[in-house]
Structure 1
Amino acid sequence: MYSAKAYSAASDTSPLAASAITRRDLTEHDVQIEILFCGICHSDLHSVRNEWSEFMPTVYPIVPGHEIIGRVTKVGSAVTKYKSGDLAAVGCLVDSDRTCPNCQAGLEQFCPNLTLTFNSPDKHLGSVTYGGYSDSIVVDEHFVLSVPSNLDLAGAAPLLCAGITTYSPMRHWGVTKGKKVGVVGLGGLGHMGVKFAHALGSHVVVFTTSPHKKEDALRLGADEVVISRDTNAMQKHAGSFDFILDAVSAEHDINAYLNLLRLDGNLTLVGAVPKPLAVSAFGLIMGRRSLSGSNIGGIPETQEMLDFCGEHNITADVEVIPIQKVNEAYERLLTSDVKYRFTIDMASLNSE
């Protein structure tokens, strides 16, 4: 075991602050990574403040962070895919049972025995896992990902959560050239959805309640922008979409978007709305439409996504901050005061 620098929270009301944590020594299959950048996901904030206590109670102290970009510093004796000096990434998962049908299918995100990057039981240390707000991490080779060298590393960090969360359902529901795709909400998730749908060759329509976001939506790759409060503008698109990605995490009228789907169209939720949404049965029945949800992606698909980003030079739009401003960033997250994701430059941890 060794000591690593980190930022952790001691309780649900404590700010994140400098601390020391224990990392395990390498096993033969492990990779040790110096963390260069770590994205801030809204789930970091939820976990730090124990806002998901009903289904995922927080164990303190907590070190959040599951959008990790770094460089390999050491590898175990049996590691074959990585060597010291390689760029590497770690997303939301650091282990699973690898034997269940989901794991065998490359869908580790649905493993009943998965280990999350932070706040999950750590079988090696007997405590909980600590995430990427740290100077290093040790992860089994199977859960380490390769990073295309042409990508901006700070912008690549959010790909490990926001990127795969939006890429996976598009691949699952067959978003390709010639499809008409809607993206509801232009935030951290939505802006990645626009970039992916555009790169996949689809006709992309952004739905937003904010007229001032139109210019940015077009810059990101949208072909059209619809102000969702404009009933006439919405009606013009009725029954025409193959796929809609709903990235809104606040309460909203889902039926307004279901009515935009064509025959056999799908709407996938990726925004974690806190309360149940009212769904009209007729909105689904009349067009054999479907409503689904999606949760990140497995390891093979996450690597596919990173390679796709390398080919198309796709990264998140980020504001890079030092670790010392993380608490301020959390407060700004609550008011959506960021375009479109925060990424922490972990070199700033060395000044602590």
Structure 2
Amino acid sequence: MTEIRGWAAHGAGKPLEFTCIDVGALGPEEVEIKVEYCGLCHSDLSTKNNDWGMSQYPVILGHEAVGTVTAVGEHTKGVKVGQRVGVGWNASSCMHCHQCMTGQHNLCAEALPTIIGHQGGFSDKIRAHWAWAIPLPDSLDISAAGPLLCGGVTVFEPLAVMNVRPTDRVGVVGIGGLGHMALKFARAWGCEVTAFTSTEAKADEARGFGAHHVVATRDADALKRAVGSLDFILVTVNVPLDWAALTACLRPNGNLHVVGAILEPMSISAIDLIFGQKRVSGSPNGSPPAMAAMLDFAARHQILPQVEHFPMSRVNDALEHLEAGKARYRVVLDPDFA
């Protein structure tokens, strides 16, 4: 019997409880990792509460885990015991479909989320397929690197796959856990960056994260001044917005790209898209190659999230802190098992 000790949800909306779960023998292509830090993401909260209707209980949450490889299966490749790696939103994929074979593993129909049908990183150890255990650059601070593996790649990937150019003017909507990292990445990408925020008190912080300009979304005049000014707008929030006002801020051929898990339908005028030849798109997290590229880029530019640390034994306090909107801007849990 192989047990993982961690903090598990046993039902929708219930506090996490310390739990031991038998996960069986290590698979031939799996690696086992001693968790040293694990980021807390809003997706953990959504999974805890079954907001998406696909949670499976009991589940140890946490999908931004970093640590040291302690065991490898007999058919593992490219990862060795003692290496520092990270695991993000997915723990495995089929490795033989078209998406996997073309480097888009995150779009695999059989991709296994780390915290849905699998045990996550609010634990003493975590397992993943070797391809999804991403080596960490030595120059990145491991104590803050965890959130890059989900939130970081989620906002980095659109810059690459949507062909955002360094000469583009990029807007980032929402200066939170995702948005503050998006500002850092877009600035390092070479873009002129505009932050959209409903909280004017965040303006100075947004500039510190890389924004050249800040637009207060509750200021109608400020929104009017931004009309027709941006090539690419990245939406990082998970709440309904004034979609007409945002699409108006796009230049011709502009793209409104969504990475925030907004549950309500988006009401967007076809006419607004047609006459400006504008686009609306979305993307999930990222594949192993994308995650590795993001980590290399982050190491080159020393991009890390701004984090707060909680001991893992206070995970329920950390979840309340996140749900109350008090996190500035990502939370990382430090294992403190006896």
When normalised by structure 1's length, the TM-score is 0.93
Q: Which residue of 2 aligns with 1:71?
A: 68
Aligned pair 1:329/2:318, yes or no?
Answer: yes
Structure 1 residues 221-260: aligned runs within 5 Å: 221-260=210-249
Aligned pair 1:62/2:59, yes or no?
Answer: yes
Give how far 1:50 is off. Answer: 1.7
Give how far 1:300 is off. Answer: 0.9
- SS of the residue corresponding to residue 88 of structure 1 reads strand
CA distance in 2, matches of 1:110, 1:217: 32
CA distance in 2, matches of 1:245, 1:232: 21
2:126 to 123, 134, 137: 137
Q: Which residue of 1 aligns with 2:180?
A: 191
Give how far 1:231 is off. Answer: 2.1
Gaps of 5+ in 2: none
- Which of 208-217 and 175-184 deviates more? 175-184
Q: Which residue of 1 aligns with 2:303?
A: 314
Aligned pair 1:179/2:176, yes or no?
Answer: no
CA distance in 2, matches of 1:41, 1:234: 30
CA distance in 2, matches of 1:52, 1:26: 29
Aligned pair 1:88/2:77, yes or no?
Answer: no
CA distance in 1, matches of 2:137, 2:24: 27
Q: Which residue of 2 aligns with 1:126?
A: none
CA distance in 2, matches of 1:286, 1:240: 16
- SS of the residue corresponding to residue 86 of structure 2 reads strand
- Per-residue CA deviation, residues 198-252 of structure 1 (Å, 9 max, x unaligned), is 1101000001111100010011111111111222222222212111101121121
Structure 1 residues 156-305: aligned runs within 5 Å: 156-305=145-294
Identity over aligned pairs, percent: 38
CA distance in 1, matches of 2:244, 2:102: 33
Question: Which residue identity lines up with residue 20 of structure 2 in the other structure?
Answer: A
Q: Which residue of 1 aligns with 2:17?
A: 17
CA distance in 2, matches of 1:59, 1:174: 36
CA distance in 2, matches of 1:313, 1:165: 18
CA distance in 2, matches of 1:231, 1:285: 24
CA distance in 2, matches of 1:155, 1:209: 26
Q: Is the 8 A contact 1:181 1:197 kept in 2?
A: yes
Give how far 1:296 is off. Answer: 0.6
Q: Is the 8 A contact 1:13 1:49 kept in 2?
A: yes
Give how far 1:78 is off. Answer: 3.4
2:116 to 89, 114, 119: 119
CA distance in 2, matches of 1:292, 1:341: 25
Give how far 1:18 is off. Answer: 1.1
Q: Which residue of 1 aligns with 2:35?
A: 35
CA distance in 2, matches of 1:141, 1:303: 13
CA distance in 2, matches of 1:273, 1:139: 28
CA distance in 2, matches of 1:231, 1:11: 43
- SS of the residue corresponding to residue 303 of structure 1 reads helix
Q: Which residue of 2 aligns with 1:51?
A: 51
Question: Which residue identity lines up with residue 51 of structure 2 in the other structure?
Answer: E
CA distance in 1, matches of 2:82, 2:94: 29
Gaps of 5+ in 1: 121-128
- Per-residue CA deviation, residues 27-73 of structure 1 (Å, 9 max, x unaligned), is 333222101111111111111122222xx1x2221111111101111
Question: Which residue identity lines up with residue 200 of structure 2 in the other structure?
Answer: P
Give how far 1:79 is off. Answer: 3.0
- SS of the residue corresponding to residue 195 of structure 1 reads helix
Matched positions, count: 338
Q: Is the 8 A contact 1:71 1:85 kept in 2?
A: yes
Q: Is the 8 A contact 2:177 2:329 kept in 1?
A: yes
CA distance in 1, matches of 2:277, 2:106: 28
Give how far 1:99 is off. Answer: 1.9
Question: Which residue identity lines up with residue 37 of structure 1 in the other structure?
Answer: Y
1:101 to 94, 98, 103: 98
When normalised by structure 2's length, the TM-score is 0.96
- SS of the residue corresponding to residue 106 of structure 1 reads coil
Q: Is the 8 A contact 2:91 2:127 kept in 1?
A: no
CA distance in 2, matches of 1:138, 1:213: 38
Give how far 1:93 is off. Answer: 1.1
- Per-residue CA deviation, residues 106-125 of structure 1 (Å, 9 max, x unaligned), is 111211111111222xxxxx
- SS of the residue corresponding to residue 320 of structure 1 reads strand
- RMSD between superposed Cα atoms in Å: 1.4
Question: Which residue identity lines up with residue 84 of structure 2 in the other structure?
Answer: L
Q: Is the 8 A contact 1:24 1:138 kept in 2?
A: no
